[in-house]
């Protein structure tokens, strides 16, 4: 199924909401350290409600370790600096979506390691900085899942 990577997330409620999203869509969540919070943070747990047990969350020590755990997968870097709109891609069941930190986004060296077709963005009005991370992940995951017929583990 689909995969979400959060590169060094900083805000616990965002990650909690994304855990809940992944639990409800069947996506696997990959968290790359360092995290801006502890995994037992009260705000993280509150935002995720009781969905933590239904989510598949993988913790990685760094970027390279995460990449080694996803061999052969198509990875899309989601960024305001993306060159292709997120809804203009035909997604596959094993696709991976990489999101940067809430305050800095993705490091330029990581973003530039992806081809233009793998750098995607969500349209916004001019002169706007960014969307909330949890909202951005939701938009992209639901578009990919919609294209796949909302199928997860053989169920819809």
Binding residue numbers for S-adenosyl-L-methionine: 78, 100, 122, 130
**How many Å apart are CA 101 and CA 71, to the nearest integer?**
23
Q: Which residues are annotated as a binding site?
A: 78, 100, 122, 130
């Amino acid at each position: 199924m689909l995969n979400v990577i959060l590169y060094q997330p900083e805000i616990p409620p965002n990650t909690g909401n994304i855990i809940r999203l992944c639990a409800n869509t069947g996506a696997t969540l990959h968290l790359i350290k360092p995290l801006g919070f502890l995994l037992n943070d009260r705000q993280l747990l509150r935002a995720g409600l009781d969905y933590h047990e239904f989510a598949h969350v993988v913790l990685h020590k760094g970027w390279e370790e995460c990449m080694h755990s996803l061999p052969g997968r198509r990875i899309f870097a989601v960024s305001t600096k993306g060159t292709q709109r997120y809804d203009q891609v035909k997604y596959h069941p094993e696709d991976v979506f990489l999101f940067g930190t809430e305050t800095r986004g993705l490091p330029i060296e990581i973003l530039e390691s992806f081809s233009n077709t793998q750098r995607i963005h969500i349209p916004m009005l001019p002169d706007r900085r960014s969307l909330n991370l949890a909202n951005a992940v939701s938009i992209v995951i639901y578009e990919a899942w919609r294209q796949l017929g909302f199928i997860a583990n053989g169920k819809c």
